[in-house]
Amino acid sequence: MDFIESFKQNFIENDRWTYLTDGLKTTLFITFFSVIIGMVLGFIVAVIRSTYLRTGKLLIPDLLCRLYLTVIRGTPVVVQLLIIYFVIFASVPISKTLVAVIAFGINSGAYVAEIVRGGIMAVDNGQLEAGRSLGLDYRQTMISIVLPQAFRTVLPALANECIVLLKETSVAGYIAIADLTKGGDIIRSQTFSAFLPLIAVAVIYLVMVVVLTKLVSILERRLAANDKR
């Protein structure tokens, strides 16, 4: 069977290409909302952790955060996904996509937290002291002096985390979510043609990642233009 015929069978016949486009929508949806959850969660955890490390306050929240980081970073994301779906939400009627958003969001949060904490700790302590000596309290100094500087430092690493997350969502198929990878698997299961659907899926992921990388480098350049240090 030649390439064109195989292409027709895998993508054109029975509108099989819709498995890929529908899957792509699901993948983007899950990635977008998990990135948001991950960022929010990550920033909160990072601020708690660095506050504890700098000032010794917030001992108990810090312990909880460390527990969270250990558990989430110490277990594979696919296992977490299955636990959240089959154990935590065992008999709760909840949409699978929401389960995936929660699972990937919580997972990503742990990695974002460590990235952001690194960024916060990299801001010189003198900045914090300067803020305090100007009469700002700890929270104001954190929000208007430390975090903006930390954000610029960690931006490339955060973007990388988004890219990793986009690709990690490919295990969502384990709980029968028809994401992009699963879309390719569905086509493969119908046509028993191994390669074309896999390659198509790979190319779509690659294009998304290349576009994301490009966007981030533009953003980085904009931020660097303001850098007078």
Partner 1 sequence: MKKILSGMAAVILTVTAFTSCAGSAPANTVHSIDDLNGKKIGVQLGTTGDTLAEDVENATVEKYNKYSDAVQALKQGKIDAVIIDSDTASVFISNNNDVELLSEGFADEEYAIAINLENTALQTEINSALSELKSDGTLQSIKDNYESENAGSSSYSSPEGTDHSKGPLVMATNAEFPPYEYRNGDQIVGFDVDMMTAVCDKLGYELQIEDMAFDSIISAVQSGKADVGVAGMSVTPDREKNVLFSDTYTTTHLVVMVRKDS
Site of interaction with partner 1 (CB under 8 A): 1, 6, 9, 13, 48, 57-61, 64, 86-93, 96, 173-176, 178, 182, 185-186, 188-195, 198
In 3D, which of 68, 51, 73, 226 has the Cα closest to residue 121? 51
> Distance between CA 209 and CA 168 in Å, rounded?
12
CB distance 126 to 55 below 8 Å: no
Amino acid letter for position 216:
V
Binning the chain into helix, strand and coil, the percentages to the nearest 5 are 85, 0, 15
Cβ-Cβ contacts under 8 Å for 94 (sequence gap 6 or more)? none
Q: Rounded to an integer, what distance in angstroms lies between the CA atom of residue 18 and that of residue 12?
A: 9
The span from the CA of 69 to the CA of 118, in Å, is 14
Backbone angles phi, psi at 123, to 5 degrees: -75, 125
Residue type for 39, please?
A: M
Distance from the first to the final alpha carbon of the chain: 62
Tell me how crowded residue 181 is: count the other CB atoms within 10 A of its CB.
Answer: 23
Cα radius of gyration rounded to whole Å, the chain: 22
